[in-house]
Amino acid sequence: MIVVDSIAELRKARQSLTGRVGLVPTMGYLHDGHISLVDFATRENDGVIATIFVNPTQFAVGEDLSTYPRDLPRDLSMLEKAGVELVFTPTPELMYPARFQTYVTVEQVTRALEGAHREGHFRGVTTVVSKLFNLTQPDVAYFGQKDAQQVVVIKQMVRDLNFPLEIAVCPIIREADGLAMSSRNVYLSQEERKAATVLYRAINGVGDEYNAGERDVSRLKHIAENMINGEPIGQLDYVSFANAQSLDEVAGIVETPLLMSMAVQFGRARLIDNCILPLHYNTRELATTVLGIQ
Ligand code: AMP
């Protein structure tokens, strides 16, 4: 495995990779969710590039940029074991040198959900992902359904800016009790960690009702909100039911595939989770086609 932290070395190492190349962009402090993306990428490509970069421009003011967990040696050994060929670990100064002034902005689909709660977040994501696409020239890039709106935003950007690559969406990997894996889970106290399973419980509560035939979004929303409010140490940020393609919030009786997504604050940790309704749409293939624009 080659590890590089300069653009010249990256370009040189990229040239040595032949055939189909998969990219897995991450912010490091890796867990099994990240490794599942790498596993799909190694199976489906001749070479895999992973990037580790805690991207300052995607953190809103007051967020956890300075305390975001990091462990580069451990990350590199996990990536090597998983069979990655090339890892890019740039510094913020390399990605955003003095006088940097070009940003990529996706409009409609960044406005709701996380975009409404994290000022500038998606502008930072699309800018850094564009740079990583240009630098690594992948045939396919892997993203987790965990960040469902990010998938929608990046697909829109790839389409609008004609990036010559595919986007692959990978399922949400969970702890044994259902909590979606996240680098930020280390912020949780013991008590918060226990209560944090409420996101997955709300998904299942809503999923069961949906499977039993309930299609009234206000009732489904009520079920989720009641469950989350039943854990008083969590502060509900939002529960949303949106059209999985456009991310437009829906109301009334709805039959098209929906993205149910939520954000809940537990102490220092802001946790997000989601599912696509009907629940069988959460397979990799369906999630890849139903989320966002094709
Ligand atoms: P991050 O390091 O948090 O920026 O995540 C890097 C990539 O891993 C993103 O595409 C995430 O959606 C994905 N990811 C994060 N957590 C999970 C998870 N629990 N299951 C699957 N993918 C994940």
Sign of CA dihedral 87, 90, 94, 96: positive
3-state secondary structure of 92: helix
pLDDT the model gives residue 294:
77
Atom from ligand 1 closest to the CA of residue 27: 2
pLDDT-flagged residues of the chain (< 50): none
Burial of 62 (0-12, 13-18, 19+ CB in 10 A): exposed
Q: What integer pLDDT is reported at residue 220 of this predicted model?
A: 98
State the pLDDT at residue 135.
98
Query: Known catalytic residue: 222?
Result: no
Alpha carbons 118 and 180: distance in angstroms, whole number: 20
Ligand 1 atom having least distance to the Cα of 174: 19
**Inter-residue contact 269 to 185 (CB < 8 Å):** yes
Residue 58 Cα to ligand 1 middle (Å): 15
Q: Rounded to an integer, what distance in angstroms lies between the CA atom of residue 74 and that of residue 32?
A: 13
- Residues having CB closer than 6 A to ligand 1 are 26-27, 33-34, 36-37, 143-144, 146-147, 170, 172-173, 180-183
Tell me, in angstroms, the distance from the centre of ligand 1 to residue 253's CA.
32
DSSP 187-231: G--HHHHHHTTHHHHHHHHHHHHHHTT--BHHHHHHHHHHHHHTS
Q: Tell me the C-alpha distance between 159 and 145, whole Å.
A: 19
| Ligand 1 atom with least separation from CA of 34 | 8
pLDDT one-digit tens code per residue, 209-219: 999 999 999 99
Question: Which residue CA neighbors atom 12 of ligand 1 most closely?
Answer: 144
pLDDT at residue 159 in the model:
98
Q: What is the pLDDT of residue 8?
A: 98
pTM: 0.98
Beta strands 166-170 and 234-243, pairing class:
unpaired
Which residue's CA lies nearest to atom 11 of ligand 1? 144
